[in-house]
Amino acid sequence: MAEAMLTVKGMKCGGCAKNVENALKTLPGVSGVAVDVKASTVKVSYEGSVTVDQMKQKIRDAGYKPE
């Protein structure tokens, strides 16, 4: 199991957090997502062949800006 910590701009509320969480959970291999809206961070637990670039693309697709 691996973890990635991503900074995500544009999240303002619990709804934003849920949107990011739901988007990331569609990726095969993602087993956990913890969003901290105040800190603008997302911690992703994953395994398998999923990449950080794929995670960032899913976040972009949801309308937010990963860094």
The pTM of this model reads 0.93
Q: How high is the pLDDT of residue 20?
A: 98
Q: Which residue has the tokens 């990635």?
A: 4
Give tens-digit pLDDT for 20-58.
Answer: 999 999 999 999 999 999 999 999 999 988 999 999 999
Domain count, the chain: 1
- pLDDT for residue 33: 98
Q: Which of 29, 25, 27 is nearest to 48 (CA)?
A: 29
**Predicted pLDDT of residue 21:** 97
Q: Indicate which CATH number applies to the domain containing 50.
A: 3.30.70.100
Instruction: Determine contact, residues 18/67, Cβ cutoff 8 Å.
Output: no
Structural domain that includes position 23: 2-66
pLDDT of residue 51: 96
Which residues have a Cβ under 8 Å from the Cβ of 21 and sit 6 or more positions away? Answer: 33, 35
